[in-house]
Structure 1
C-alpha cells in the first residue's frame, strides 16, 4: 500500500514539474478570435522579432482601422528551408493554375534569396514605393545601394527592412591565452594555434552564412587585384589567384573548426559559454549575446567587423504573388519600413515605438532612425563605418551557389579528413609540400565572368549531387595525401 501511495506521489510530482512551465509560460501562440484578419508570413526571424512585430503591427492596425489582426508566422527553419517550401508550393500552384500558395509575406533572409524569388515572378511590386517615394529618393532614408550591396529591388518587388554584417565573435580571455593579438581580419581565424577551437555554420543551411563565405572569397579576390606584387600579371591571372587564396583561407578556417552548426545562433552562445574561442556570426547575434553575458569586469564576448572583409547587407521583406490578404500584406510592409516600425529594430525596451519585451539589436535600414536612438546606439550605425568591403557582384555573384556547395564538400562532408591533415601538418612544422597538397583547389577553378561550376550550379539535383560526390572524393584524397606527406616529414625530424 505504501509503495502504491509513493508511486502516485512521485507521478504527481513529475506531472506538476512538466505542467508548471506550461502553466507559467506566456502564451505567444494564441489563436485568432472569430472575425480577426489573418496574415500568413514566411520568416527565418527569431521568436522575439516575430512577437514584437506582431504586437506592434496589431496595435497599429487596430488604431487605424478598428480591426484585429493575427499574424500566422511560418518558420520552417532558415532561408534554405523557406526557399524549398516556396519552390514546392509555387510548382504545385503553377501546375494547378493557382496564383499563390496561401502565404502573404516573405520577411527576412538575404538579398540573393529575394532576388531569386523576384526573378521567378513570385514577388509583387511593393505599394510603399508609390505611397512613400520620398523614402527611396536620392538622399532619402533608404538608399538603393550601400557598400556595393543592393538594399531595394530595381523592379521594386522587395526592400531591405534592416541591415546586417558578418564578423568575428570571440572570447577575449581564451583568445589571448593562445598568445594571439586581437582579431581584426578573417585571416586571423586561420592561425594554426586555433586548431579545434572555432565554431562555424553550414552555408547550405543559411543564405546569410553562404553570403559570408562569398564575401571572404571576394575580399581575397579584391586584395589580389590590388596587390602591388601582382600588378604586372594579367587581370585574369590575378582573379584566379585571389579565388584560390579565398578558398584556401576558408579551408584553413574550417580546419580549425570544432564543428559546423546547422544554426548560426549556436555560435555566439558557444563562444560566450567557453565551448569555442571564436566563430563567425552576424552583428546582431553578437550584440545580443554580448548584452546578455557581459559584465563590467567580465567581458566574455566581443564582436568585431573584419577590416575590409565584410559589407553591409540588407535583410529584405516582400509580398508574395497570390497573397490572400494582399492589402494587409502591403500595409504590413509599409509599417515595417515606416519610422515606427524601424524603431523596433534597435531602440531600448520601453522607448517610444521601441520593443516592449526584449531588445532586437538589429540595425535599421532607415538612416534617419539612428538620430532617434541613444548616442551609444547611434554610434553603432553601419552607415558611419569606413572600413567596409565594397561588394562587386561581377566577381562572385554568379558563383554564389558554387561557393556554398563547394564549402560543403571541401570542408564539411570531408571535415574529419581535413582536420586530420591539418593536425599532422602542424605537428610536422607546416611543411610546404603538404600544405600545397591540402590547399589544392584546382578542381574548382575561377571561371570567366565569375561564373560558377556548371555541375554545382545545375538545376538538376542529380547533376549537382554527382558533382558534389566527385569533388568530395578529390578533396578526401588530397587530405589523405597531405596527412601522409606530413607524417613523412615528422619521421625525418
Structure 2
C-alpha cells in the first residue's frame, strides 16, 4: 500500500506491503528533492511494491503531522480532485491496461505542487511493476494467423486458471511466414547462444523443428503421461512427435487444392482432382501459389512434388504449373483468399486455409480437394526453445496444446462450448479418438489415421534441402516468371512436344548435386548469392530460347566465386 503526503517541510512516501517503509527526502531546494528521490532505484520500487494480495492503493496521508495551513490546502486539493484518504487505485492485470489506467488518473489528479506530483508519479511506476509481475506469461514466435493466436491465447488463459488457479497470458511475436520466423530464430541464437528471450516456436510444419532439434536449439521436455495418453508417437511412418521429446506435433497438416466452383462454372474450367490437372494449358492464369522463400507451407508442397514424382519429372511438373500460376504470393494465406475473391480458381493450400475459406464462402461456392495421386500428411510442430525465459509456463503451454482442451480448439467448430469461440480453425487433431467421438460434429470428415496410400513424405530429406530448394524455385520459376510464362505459352502453341516440355522443366543440377551443395557450399553467403544469379541468368536465357523455338540447349553460365 502506498501513501503520499507532506510532513512539515518534507514530503513523505509511505510504502506498505507486509511491513511499512518510510522514505523521507529533504526539500531545502526543489533540486535537492528530485536528486534525493532519483536515488530510489526502479528495482527497489518493484520489490517493495509487490504485494501478495495483488492490491495497491494511492491516497493522501492526512495523519502525517502537516501544519494546519498546509493541512487545509492539502485537504482542499484532495476534495476538489476527488481523491480522499484511502481511495483505492487498483491496477488491472494487463501491463498496458494498468499503465493507461494509472496515468489517466494521475493526469486528472496531479497537484500543482511539483514535489507532490513526483511522489504520485513514482508510486504509479511501482503499481505498474507490481501488476505486470503478478501474471504468468509465455512468449511465442509463430507464423500462425490471428485466428489461431486469439483462440489459443484465450484457451490457454482459461485452462491455466482452472489448472493452477491463476490466469496466464501469451505474448506473440510475428516476423512473417515460417521460413522468416526460422531464419530470425537461428540468426538470434547466433548472437545470443544461451537464449533469445522467446519461449516457444509454434507452427510452420515439421522441417523447422527438425532443424531446431539438429542445432540443439529446441529444449527437451517430457510432458506428463496423462497428457501423452491417446497420442501415438507415429503412424504410417509419420512421426507425430519427436522420440527424443524436443518437439511435438500440435496438429496434423495435409495439402490440397482449394477451388472456386462458381468461377469454374462461369468460365468453363474443370474440377481438379489430381496435382497434374493444374498443368493443363486451359488453366493458364487461374492458378495461385505462394513463394517458398517466405512460406514454409509452400516449401513443403514443392518438396512433396519432387519426392512424389522424382527429381526430373518433379521439376517438369513445377515448371508447367509455374507457367499457369497467376502470381506467387509472399504469404500463403493470401493465395487461399484470392480463390475466395475469384481472382483465381485454383490454389495450392494447406488444409487449414482451405477449410477456413470454405466455411466463409460456403460449400456451394468453394471446395477443398485432397488430390488422388498423392497426399502428404505431416505434423505442424511446437517446441520450447533453448534458454526459455518463462520455462514453467512454456511447459504448461505445451501440455495445454497437446491436451484434449487444446486439441478441441483445432477440431471442433466455432461456437461449440469446448471449441473456438470467435474463429473457425478446422485442423486435424493428433488424437485419433476425436474422429469417431466427434463424427457429425466436426467439419473434418475424414481421419488421416485411416488414410491408406503408398506415398510417405520424407521429412529428413526435406529438411536437408530446405534452404536450397526455395532458392532454386525462386531463381528458376518466380524471379523469371514472365520469361517462363512466355516460354510455356510458346510450347503449348507448338503442341507441347515432349522434348520442349522436358527442356522447359530441366533443372541446372542433379538431385545428388543439389543435396551436396545444400550440405556444404551453401553455407557460404557469397557462394549462395552468386549461385542464385547464375541460375536466374541461365533460366532466362533458356526460356527466351524456348519461346523463340530454338532447339539449342542452354548450358549453365558457370559464375565463379573468389576463393
For the criterion TM > 0.5, the same-fold answer is yes
Distance 1:46 1:388, change over 3 A: farther
Q: TM-score, normalised by structure 1?
A: 0.80
Map of 1:469 onto structure 2: 533
Map of 2:406 onto structure 1: 341
Give the Cα–Cα distance (whole angstroms) in 2 for the partners of residues 322 and 79 of structure 1.
21
Please point out which of 234, 247, 254 is paired with 1:165: 254
Give yes or no for contact 1:308–1:387 (8 Å, CA) kept in 2. Answer: no
Map of 1:113 onto structure 2: 208
Give yes or no for contact 2:269–2:283 (8 Å, CA) kept in 1. Answer: no
What is the root-mean-square deviation in Å for CA atoms of aligned residues?
A: 2.5
Give the Cα–Cα distance (whole angstroms) in 2 for the partners of residues 56 and 30 of structure 1.
21
Give the Cα–Cα distance (whole angstroms) in 2 for the partners of residues 60 and 267 of structure 1.
34
Deviations 1:144-191 (A, max 9, x none): 333433221122111101011111111224335665542121111011
Map of 2:313 onto structure 1: 245
Please point out which of 196, 200, 213 is paired with 2:289: 200
Map of 1:430 onto structure 2: 496
Q: Give 1:306 deviation, angstroms.
A: 1.3
Map of 2:184 onto structure 1: 85
Deviations 1:348-405 (A, max 9, x none): 2332421122221111111122233242636332223324632245765533333222
Distance 1:432 1:486, change over 3 A: farther
Q: Give 1:440 deviation, angstroms.
A: 2.7
Map of 2:307 onto structure 1: 218
Give yes or no for contact 1:428–1:486 (8 Å, CA) kept in 2. Answer: no
Q: Give 1:430 deviation, angstroms.
A: 2.6
Which one has a larger percent helix, Structure 1 or Structure 2? Answer: 1
Map of 1:132 onto structure 2: 225
Please point out which of 324, 332, 349 is paired with 1:281: 349
Please point out which of 166, 171, 187 is paired with 1:72: 171
1:379 is the counterpart of 2:445: yes
Give yes or no for contact 1:169–1:278 (8 Å, CA) kept in 2. Answer: yes
Please point out which of 379, 384, 388 is paired with 1:323: 388
Deviations 1:444-486 (A, max 9, x none): 21218x8353499711222111111111111111100000007
Give yes or no for contact 2:464–2:519 (8 Å, CA) kept in 1. Answer: no
Q: Give 1:247 deviation, angstroms.
A: 0.5
Distance 1:437 1:374, change over 3 A: closer
Map of 2:71 onto structure 1: none
Map of 1:312 onto structure 2: 377
Map of 2:37 onto structure 1: none
Give the Cα–Cα distance (whole angstroms) in 2 for the partners of residues 30 and 303 of structure 1.
41
Deviations 1:174-225 (A, max 9, x none): 335665542121111011111111111011112221011111111112xxxx
Alignment of 1:311-460 (within 5 A): 311-375=376-440, 377=442, 379-387=445-453, 389-392=455-458, 398-441=464-507, 443-447=508-512, 451-454=515-518, 458-460=522-524
Deviations 1:98-145 (A, max 9, x none): x211111111112110111111111111231xx21772xxxx632233
Map of 1:13 onto structure 2: none
Give the Cα–Cα distance (whole angstroms) in 2 for the partners of residues 487 and 126 of structure 1.
58
Give the Cα–Cα distance (whole angstroms) in 1 for the partners of residues 348 and 539 of structure 2.
23
1:184 is the counterpart of 2:273: yes
Secondary structure of 1:317 counterpart: strand
For structure 1, the 5+ residue unaligned runs are 1-27, 222-242, 489-493
Map of 1:148 onto structure 2: 237
Give the Cα–Cα distance (whole angstroms) in 2 for the partners of residues 411 and 482 of structure 1.
15
Map of 2:337 onto structure 1: 269
Give yes or no for contact 2:195–2:387 (8 Å, CA) kept in 1. Answer: yes
Give the Cα–Cα distance (whole angstroms) in 2 for the partners of residues 121 and 277 of structure 1.
43
Give yes or no for contact 2:323–2:481 (8 Å, CA) kept in 1. Answer: yes
Secondary structure of 2:349 counterpart: strand
Give the Cα–Cα distance (whole angstroms) in 2 for the partners of residues 419 and 283 of structure 1.
28
Give yes or no for contact 1:147–1:312 (8 Å, CA) kept in 2. Answer: no
Deviations 1:402-444 (A, max 9, x none): 3222111110011010011112222333344543432332x12
Distance 1:117 1:306, change over 3 A: same
For structure 2, the 5+ residue unaligned runs are 1-93, 99-130, 553-563
More contact order relative to length (CA 8 Å, sep ≥ 6): 1
Give yes or no for contact 1:220–1:245 (8 Å, CA) kept in 2. Answer: yes
Give the Cα–Cα distance (whole angstroms) in 1 for the partners of residues 227 and 149 of structure 2.
28
Map of 2:3 onto structure 1: none
Secondary structure of 1:162 counterpart: strand
Secondary structure of 1:447 counterpart: helix
